[in-house]
Amino acid sequence: MTPNIRPLVAGNWKMNGKREALATINVIANESEAEDLNAVEMLICPPATLLYVSTTLTEDVPLQIGAQDCHQAKSGAHTGDISAEMIADCYGTHAIVGHSERRTDHNETNEEVCAKAKAAIEAGLVAIICIGETEEERKSGKTLDVLKDQLAGSVPDNVNSKNSVIAYEPVWAIGTGLVPSIDDIKDAHEFMRNELVKRFADEGGAMRILYGGSVKPGNAGELMAIENVDGALVGGASLKAEDFLSICKATAGLLTN
């Protein structure tokens, strides 16, 4: 945790969840009003098919709804894509950009991720910009070099602590149950914080840096307590209301204890 930063716990449902999953949104939405969760900001990014209906279900509660990607253009001939403006038009508040699955499945480059983040910010969304090393890069000792390159290439110049969030997700930790050691996460987050401060001064010091990759109710407290870890990007465990809420509570508990 970084003092004075309100942590964000974001759920990324990926390509999971049909209409029946709206029941999960409802459970999380109802709980999001609980006093013991005030200390955290809560977000679910369902598939695009559920975005609009999810925002209508959460209109009066603190649970925010976001998208998992956005196109860099405002509109036009881009079959199958969704613009940041369209997400904002459906009352979405955030867009994840540069998730490693999109970098792999859709060959997204740092340059494209940067353009997407810029488009998200211009549409009034918060950009959650994902970076992280592969297993091979970690094994060959290149983790910090990769993070430096991805931060330089994927983060646009117009970011600030309100319109953007960095999510550090080691690719090899996503969906695998593997998590880096506490020291490795601490070092990576400290490195990213310094890079952000170098480039964005005070705003870089105030930006949230999330950790993502196999965050579960059982390890959330320990992970969220690490210096410069300002919340979590949660995949698998966000599909179950109970697990997602436990992660939020573990995070909030660190602030209220």
- 6-39: string of b/e by CB count within 10 Å (b at 16+)? ebbbbbbbbeebeeebbebbbebbebbeeeebeb
User: Can you tell me which of 24, 68, 214, 228 binds ligand PGA, judged by CB under 6 A?
Assistant: 214
| 156 or 235: CB nearest ligand PGA | 235
Question: By rule CB under 6 A, what count of residues binds ligand PGA?
Answer: 13
| 124 or 177: CB nearest ligand PGA | 177
Residue nearest to ligand PGA (CB): 235
Please tell me whether residue 213 binds ligand PGA under the rule CB under 6 A: yes
Please tell me whether residue 251 binds ligand PGA under the rule CB under 6 A: no
Please tell me whether residue 169 binds ligand PGA under the rule CB under 6 A: yes
| 13 or 200: CB nearest ligand PGA | 13
User: Can you tell me which of 111, 136, 175, 256 binds ligand PGA, judged by CB under 6 A?
Assistant: 175
| 48 or 200: CB nearest ligand PGA | 48
Beta carbon of residue 213, minimum distance to ligand PGA (angstroms, whole number): 5
Please tell me whether residue 129 binds ligand PGA under the rule CB under 6 A: no
Residues carrying an active site annotation: 99, 169
Which of 151, 134, 214 is CA-nearest to residue 181?
A: 214
Beta carbon of residue 209, minimum distance to ligand PGA (angstroms, whole number): 14
Please tell me whether residue 234 binds ligand PGA under the rule CB under 6 A: yes
Beta carbon of residue 195, minimum distance to ligand PGA (angstroms, whole number): 21
Beta carbon of residue 241, minimum distance to ligand PGA (angstroms, whole number): 15
Q: Mark residues 67-86: x for contact with ligand PGA by CB under 6 A, - for none.
A: --------------------
Q: How many CA atoms lie within 13 A of 162 on its CB side?
A: 2
Residues binding ligand PGA (CB under 6 A) = 12, 169, 174-175, 212-215, 233-237
